[in-house]
Amino acid sequence: MINLQSVSVEYPNGVLALKDIGISISKGEFVFVVGSTGSGKSTFLKLLYREILPTRGSVIVDDQDVTQLDSSQVPFLRRKLGIVFQDFKLLPQKNVWENLAFALKVIGVNPRDIRRRIGDVLELVGLTHRCDSFPNQMSGGEQQRAAIARALINHPTILIADEPTGNLDPGTSWEIMQLLEQINIRGTTVLAATHDSQIVDRMKKRVIQLESGSLVRDVNKGMYQHSES
């Protein structure tokens, strides 16, 4: 599903953000990407949705080498991916329903399918009662649920979440991660970058750890840190 080989990323200012990374992720996995600030987590995720290109190496996403796509093909890649950010990135002037409908109208989905699909994803994330609310009328957890609903509206094969709980309190963070786990159980591959060691330790998923751009650990049913004993 996802395969990186000998991938390095050097930003124009000379920062080596990823160094010779090799990672393989199968369909249906749930993977945490951990590491301190600046370790390269966002850079890794940006490679997958072709926000950036690697300086070296190949990046296969859903059987396609995304480094070979020309810019006109990038929107088709993005439709197969759901992307969620720490700061939600909802459109502030639109209510929840309109935020979701917007993503579908731009790709020409007909009104009846728009209604059905929005109804389905809002039910999945538990936000049906909030469909008329604007982002600034909702809690952080509700805004993130809305953003997750938007990410799911095209039935992506992969959900990419870059610190999805970075702005949320511990209880709400746990609920959001549980929602991502439910989405994974329904068949979507999930990659989540996070700082939240308690959640990582509790969920016992695969953990990929980056440090200064290098892959330093890749374990199944892992913890945020090495245990000492």
Residues at the interface with ligand ADP (CB under 6 A): 11, 13, 15, 17, 35, 37-43
37 binds, among ligand ADP, Mg ion, none (CB under 5 to 8 A by kind): ligand ADP
Q: Please give the distance of CA 66 from its chain centroid, rounded to a whole number.
A: 17
13 binds, among Mg ion, ligand ADP, none (CB under 5 to 8 A by kind): ligand ADP
Neighbours of 124 (CB within 10 A): 17
The smaller minimum CB distance to ligand ADP, of residues 11 and 76, is found at 11
Residue 43 interacts with Mg ion (CB under 5 A): yes or no: no
Residue 209 interacts with Mg ion (CB under 5 A): yes or no: no
11 binds, among Mg ion, ligand ADP, none (CB under 5 to 8 A by kind): ligand ADP
Residue 42 interacts with Mg ion (CB under 5 A): yes or no: yes
The smaller minimum CB distance to ligand ADP, of residues 9 and 168, is found at 9
DSSP conformation letters of the chain: -EEEEEEEEE-TTS-EEEEEEEEEE-TT-EEEEE-STTSSHHHHHHHHTTSS--SEEEEEETTEEGGG--GGGHHHHHHTEEEEETT----TTS-HHHHHHHHHHTTT--HHHHHHHHHHHHHHHT-GGGTT--GGGS-HHHHHHHHHHHHHTT--SEEEEESTTTTS-HHHHHHHHHHHHHHHHTT-EEEEE---HHHHHHH--EEEEEETTEEEEEETT--SS----
Least distance to ligand ADP, CB of residue 227, Å: 23
76 binds, among Mg ion, ligand ADP, none (CB under 5 to 8 A by kind): none
The smaller minimum CB distance to ligand ADP, of residues 47 and 104, is found at 47
Specify the stretch interacting with Mg ion by CB under 5 A; choose among 42-50, 73-81, 143-151, 214-222.
42-50
Residue 165 interacts with Mg ion (CB under 5 A): yes or no: no
Least distance to Mg ion, CB of residue 166, Å: 9
Least distance to ligand ADP, CB of residue 229, Å: 28
Q: How far apart are the first and last CA of the chain?
A: 34
Least distance to Mg ion, CB of residue 35, Å: 9
